[in-house]
């Protein structure tokens, strides 16, 4: 049965008609055509689908679109400034080569931004533990860890 | 002109789009009037198909069409081809049983394709696929390669008696046996190189479309080599002319080998698109990927090393059973032979090597090249043997390596390869220093004081990259050339678009290749764009695998650049009324020797496209050149890795305290990208040794079919790495480059297992060294 959902995505109000079984990630990718949010698994392990919901990083493959009714969602497309300038966390990933194929990257960045809000100067161990729900097959995490450390500091400094 | 771009840590041109969600992976592509496909797959490892009924599926909401093996047979679609012919020890060709796109009367592994169902949405396609009724007669299965040739084992293919694809050998057995007869010491190991699931983060996707307007097809597919995919699909499977088929592989989210191959789904959606006269899109989910992406490794090997009393290697004998799975995947046959046994000399002067490989079919997912492809297996054999030999002979493991290192080049190995250059002592020296090996004894004491075990292990690997000299590959059975193509299109105002047959799916070619081009042409990197991954744009290409992109693809671009620069010289000579021999090109300008007269590259390009003042009698207008490059030899990246672990004997948990990698990749274009490749390779190698391993139960069900039970390393499983490089420039390509994509995955498993066995004080233990396996090994040791 079709249901209506209304929510805010990247600052804009949107409404869509979806099936009850439709996942939030499907709404984002298929209905809204915001394809920066990726699907890398079907067991809520890889984190490629991570978005921000009401300021918290969530896996959009693990909830129904209906559950996001009224929510304020930010996807990777909404992270950079309106003029295209990268967010400090995005810039840190670029500077530290924290991405290779780029597929896990949006989820990594969304999780990292949420993490950095409460960890302005994280240790390597804290960062690694925070990445528990995000898998990357390319980078070996080495440069992602460096990027998140640098990005967190840049965010704290208000850059 | 600024600092040289070659060798600089240039930030990547591709990153902005990936960081802002603007990448265009295949699943991000949607075509007008698109339909969606789901595949009906065998739930059994081995079964006859008695009957398939589509009746209920046809009534499912949104159903568009469904096709089975019968439809494919009626349409005379061929099976999936194997690209490499191995000739067996008796001079007979390997057994190549049919590999149908959709099952023909029988299924041979869990996940084997039985039918394609097309519907209006993904969910409807899956719902309808669930309603396809297949009546199976289940047969006994064989999953263990070592049991496949046993008498009475279930037989997979009529055309492959004893489930044997081939028995192949290299080296002189009699000479090897003679070396063993006079040995002072022989070290022997019997081990499994565990089966791995590649797991690129982007699952495979294929969208077929067909246009009646011009009878042409387009396949969007997550592929590492779109031209090869097109060649195989058109010429060998569908019988279509290549000019009517376009294959597009846009942004691809990692490959590691698993996206080299032509898969059944790619053919099925392309063919189905014509039948339903609408685009057909299939997106693999992770569970499907575990079952159907070609797996890697899966060797059972017995290996022996013979030495004199000082530990000089006298000979090596290796017997390997390679499990190739249910069917031959695209390059399955060359991985456990040409890419494996030829590397068994490693970095050493072992005078004689004999290796025999038996490739067998089993009721498991097909096995093919996965990052390293044969070379990790070879390195594991050599480096586990060498380390074990050192321990048995009480010689320092670095010292025994140094005693046997090849030090004079070029060097002809006894297993067909000719190493052009290397300096293995240099990488070993640097690795030992960076790893602080001299401080290990005191760190071990400190660990012991805490009740922990500490171990250190080396791996000194070599690989053959820059695949490959076509004539050599051809003589070894390759059914395709292995050159690369490049095109440099100079625009009228001097900016440049470069088309390469290499494919980038994380490697950063858009940056690295642009550095080479901008450097050679003396222009800012912003003036150069690299295009790849579309057969309608790129003239040809053999794609990306085997760490070949910069060595082969990069060289093709350099050769095209040479032609551009040479033509520009003629134009510049005309413009400046000078002899061509007096023109020099440097820093983006053509200058007349000994004068201050010069023309910038952009001016010359403009003259080529606005040829008002132009040597029309000698030259065509325009500035656009292409080149094909076929290498004269493989390249031989090599390095030394040192791994240090601490093991908790109470829990069996292994912690990697330090991992040091010093590689010789020849000249380096972008050290930042190279380091990233090493980090990623090391992590996949550590994954093989510590956390990963595909497991089948006796009935052929994959029991490690998700990220919940097949553990690819997470951030907490691996350390930060210490990496460095030493350089001996490749002697036979103009950039002096060797390739860096696979090294980490090749060297890491042996280094880690050498460290773990050192810590535990055991001769050997199986990969992955899970806490349970480590704990069990310690318990067994105590009991013994």
pLDDT digits (tens, 9 = 90+) for B493-537: 999 999 999 999 999 999 999 999 999 999 999 999 999 999 999
Cross-chain residue pair B11–A95, CB shorter than 8 Å: yes
Measure in Å the smallest separation between the Cα of B68 and chain A Cα atoms. Answer: 27
A131 and chain B in contact, CB less than 8 A: yes
Q: Which helix (H) or strand (E) holds B70?
A: helix B69-74
Residue in chain B closest to A100 (alpha carbons) equals B506
Question: Is the CA virtual torsion B363, A42, B219, B55 positive or negative?
Answer: positive
**Residues in chain B, overall count:** 784
pLDDT digits (tens, 9 = 90+) for A101-134: 999 999 999 999 999 999 999 999 999 999 999 9
* Domain segments of chain A as ranges: 2-78, 88-156
Average pLDDT in the B334-354 region? Answer: 98
A135, two tokens: 């898998």
Q: What is the DSSP letter of B120?
A: S
* CA nearest to B677, candidates B723, B710, B640, B639: B723
Q: Which CATH class is domain A2-78?
A: alpha beta
| Residue labelled with tokens 């771009």 | B5
Cross-chain residue pair B706–A103, CB shorter than 8 Å: no
Look up the CATH number of domain A88-156.
1.10.150.120
What is the edge-to-edge ordering of all strands in the sheet holding B245-248? B63-68, B113-119, B35-41, B280-283, B205-211, B216-221, B245-248
Whether residue A1 is predicted with pLDDT greater than 80 in this model: the reply is no
Which residues, numbered 66 to 125 in chain A, qualify as contacts with chain B under a Cβ-Cβ cut-off of 8 Å?
75-77, 79-80, 84, 86, 90, 93-95, 97, 99-106, 109, 124
Query: Is B498:B558 a contact under the CB 8 Å cutoff?
Result: no
pLDDT digits (tens, 9 = 90+) for B575-630: 999 999 999 999 999 999 999 999 999 999 999 999 999 999 999 999 999 999 99
What's the predicted TM-score (pTM) here?
Answer: 0.98
pLDDT digits (tens, 9 = 90+) for B109-131: 999 999 999 999 999 999 999 99
Contacts of A79 in chain B (CB under 8 A): 20
What whole-number distance in Å separates Cα of residue B436 and Cα of residue B417? Answer: 34
Contacts of A28 in chain B (CB under 8 A): none
Whether residue B341 is predicted with pLDDT greater than 70 in this model: the reply is yes
Task: Write down the ipTM of this complex.
Answer: 0.98
The chain-wide mean pLDDT, for chain B, equals 97
Question: Is B483-629 in the same CATH topology as B299-468+633-783?
Answer: yes
B238, two tokens: 């569908």
Q: Which CATH architecture has domain B483-629?
A: 2-Layer Sandwich (3.30)
pLDDT digits (tens, 9 = 90+) for B395-418: 999 999 999 999 999 999 999 999
pLDDT for position A159: 65
Neighbour-count burial for B417-429, b at 16+ CB within 10 Å, e otherwise: bebbbbbbeebbb
Cross-chain residue pair B201–A77, CB shorter than 8 Å: no
pLDDT digits (tens, 9 = 90+) for B75-105: 999 999 999 999 999 999 999 999 999 999 9
Write the DSSP string, B340-378: TGGGTTTTB--S-EEEEEEEEE-SS--B---TTTTHHHH
pLDDT for position A6: 98
Pick the CATH number of B299-468+633-783 from 3.30.565.10, 3.40.50.2300, 3.30.365.10, 1.10.10.10: 3.30.365.10
What whole-number distance in Å separates Cα of residue B186 and Cα of residue B656? Answer: 31
Q: Which CATH superfamily is domain B18-139+201-254+259-292 in?
A: Aldehyde oxidase/xanthine dehydrogenase, a/b hammerhead (3.90.1170.50)
Whether residue B2 is predicted with pLDDT greater than 80 in this model: the reply is no
B668, two tokens: 């380096």
Contacts of A99 in chain B (CB under 8 A): 15, 18-19
pLDDT band at B3 (very low <50, low <70, confident <90, very high): confident
Query: Is B37:B132 a contact under the CB 8 Å cutoff?
Result: no
Tell me, rounded to whole angstroms, the distance of Cα B143 from its chain centroid. 24
pLDDT for position B406: 98
| % of chain B exceeding 70 in pLDDT | 100
Average pLDDT in the A81-94 region? Answer: 98
* Domain segments of chain B as ranges: 18-139+201-254+259-292, 299-468+633-783, 483-629
Cross-chain residue pair B16–A128, CB shorter than 8 Å: no
For B662-721, the three-class secondary structure string (H helix, E strand, C coil) is: EEECECCCCHHHHHHHHHHHHHHHHHHHHHCCCCECCCCCECCCCCCCCCCCCHHHCCCC
């Amino acid at each position: 049965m079709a249901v209506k959902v209304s929510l805010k995505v990247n600052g804009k109000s949107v409404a869509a008609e979806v099936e009850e079984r439709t996942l939030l990630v499907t709404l984002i990718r298929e209905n809204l055509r915001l394809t920066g949010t990726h699907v890398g698994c079907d067991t809520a392990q890889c984190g490629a689908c991570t978005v921000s919901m009401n300021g918290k990083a969530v896996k959009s493959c693990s909830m129904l679109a209906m559950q996001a009714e009224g929510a304020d969602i930010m996807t990777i497309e909404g992270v950079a400034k309106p003029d295209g300038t990268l967010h400090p966390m995005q810039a840190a990933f670029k500077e530290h080569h924290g991405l290779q194929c780029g597929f896990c990257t949006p989820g990594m960045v969304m999780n990292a931004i949420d993490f950095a809000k409460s960890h302005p100067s994280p240790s390597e161990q804290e960062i690694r533990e925070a990445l528990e729900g995000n898998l990357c097959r390319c980078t070996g995490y080495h440069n992602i860890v460096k990027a998140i450390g640098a990005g967190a500091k840049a965010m704290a400094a208000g850059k | 002109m600024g600092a040289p771009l070659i060798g600089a840590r240039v930030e990547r041109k591709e990153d902005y789009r990936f960081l802002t969600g603007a990448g265009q992976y295949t699943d991000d592509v949607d075509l007008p009037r698109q339909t969606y496909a789901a595949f009906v797959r065998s739930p059994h490892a081995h079964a006859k198909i008695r009957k398939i009924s589509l009746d209920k599926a046809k009534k499912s909401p949104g159903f568009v069409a469904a096709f089975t093996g019968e439809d494919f047979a009626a349409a005379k679609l061929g099976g999936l081809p194997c690209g490499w012919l191995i000739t067996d020890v008796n001079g007979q060709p390997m057994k190549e049983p049919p590999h149908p796109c959709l099952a023909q009367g029988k299924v041979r592994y869990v996940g084997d394709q039985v039918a394609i169902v097309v519907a209006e949405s993904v969910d409807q396609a899956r719902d309808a696929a669930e309603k396809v009724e297949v009546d199976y007669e289940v047969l006994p299965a064989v999953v263990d390669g070592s049991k496949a040739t046993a008498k009475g084992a279930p037989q997979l293919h009529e055309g492959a008696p004893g489930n044997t694809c081939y028995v192949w050998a290299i080296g002189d057995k009699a000479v090897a046996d003679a070396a063993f007869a006079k040995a002072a010491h022989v070290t022997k190991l019997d081990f499994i190189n565990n089966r791995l699931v590649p797991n690129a983060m982007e699952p495979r996707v294929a969208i077929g479309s067909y246009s009646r307007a011009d009878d042409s097809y387009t396949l969007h597919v997550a592929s590492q080599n779109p031209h090869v995919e097109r060649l195989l699909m058109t010429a060998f499977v569908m019988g279509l002319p290549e000019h009517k088929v376009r294959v597009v592989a846009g942004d691809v989210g990692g490959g590691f080998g698993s996206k080299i191959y032509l898969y059944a789904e790619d053919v099925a959606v392309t063919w189905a698109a014509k039948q339903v006269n609408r685009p057909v899109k299939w997106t693999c989910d992770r569970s499907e990927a575990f079952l159907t992406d070609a797996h890697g490794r899966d060797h059972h090997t017995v290996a022996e090393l013979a030495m004199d009393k000082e530990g000089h290697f006298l000979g090596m004998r290796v017997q390997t059973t390679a499990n190739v799975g249910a069917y031959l995947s695209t390059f399955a046959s060359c991985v456990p032979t040409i890419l494996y046994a030829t590397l068994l000399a490693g970095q050493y002067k072992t005078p004689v090597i004999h290796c025999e490989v038996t490739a067998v079919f089993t009721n498991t997912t097909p096995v093919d090249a996965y990052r390293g492809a044969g070379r990790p297996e070879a390195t594991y054999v050599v480096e586990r043997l060498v380390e074990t030999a050192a321990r048995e002979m009480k010689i320092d493991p670095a010292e025994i390596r140094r005693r046997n290192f090849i030090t004079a080049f070029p060097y002809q190995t006894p297993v067909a390869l000719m190493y052009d250059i290397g300096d293995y002592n240099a990488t070993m020296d640097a690795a030992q220093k960076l790893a602080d090996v001299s401080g290990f004894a005191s760190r071990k004491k400190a660990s012991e004081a805490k009740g922990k075990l500490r171990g250190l292990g080396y791996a000194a690997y070599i690989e053959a990259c820059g695949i490959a000299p076509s004539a050599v590959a051809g003589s070894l059975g390759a059914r395709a050339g292995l050159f690369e193509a490049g095109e440099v299109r100079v625009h009228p105002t001097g900016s440049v678009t470069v088309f390469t047959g290499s494919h980038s799916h994380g490697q950063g070619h858009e940056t690295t290749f642009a550095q080479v081009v901008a450097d050679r042409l003396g222009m800012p990197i912003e003036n150069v764009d690299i295009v790849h991954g579309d057969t309608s744009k790129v003239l040809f290409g053999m794609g990306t695998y085997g760490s070949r992109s910069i060595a082969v693809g990069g060289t093709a671009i350099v050769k095209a650049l040479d032609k551009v620069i040479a033509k520009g010289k003629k134009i510049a000579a005309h413009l400046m009324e000078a002899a061509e021999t007096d023109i020099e090109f440097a820093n983006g300008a053509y200058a007349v020797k000994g004068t201050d007269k010069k023309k910038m590259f952009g001016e010359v390009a403009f003259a080529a496209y606005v040829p008002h003042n132009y040597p029309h009698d000698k030259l065509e207008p325009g500035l656009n050149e292409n080149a094909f490059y076929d290498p004269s030899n493989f390249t031989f990246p090599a390095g030394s890795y040192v791994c240090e672990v601490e093991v908790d004997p109470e829990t069996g948990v292994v912690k990697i305290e330090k991992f040091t990698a010093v590689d010789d990749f020849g000249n380096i274009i972008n050290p930042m990208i190279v380091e990233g490749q090493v980090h990623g390779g090391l992590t996949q190698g550590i994954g093989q040794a510590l956390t990963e391993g595909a497991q089948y139960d006796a009935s052929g069900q994959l029991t490690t079919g998700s990220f919940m039970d097949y553990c690819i390393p997470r951030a907490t499983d691996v350390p930060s790495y210490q990496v460095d490089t030493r350089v001996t420039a490749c002697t036979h390509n103009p950039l002096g480059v060797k390739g860096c994509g696979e090294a980490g995955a090749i060297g890491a498993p042996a280094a880690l297992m050498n460290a773990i066995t050192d810590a535990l004080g055991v001769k050997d233990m199986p990969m992955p060294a899970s806490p349970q396996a480590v704990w069990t090994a310690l318990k067994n040791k105590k009991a013994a």
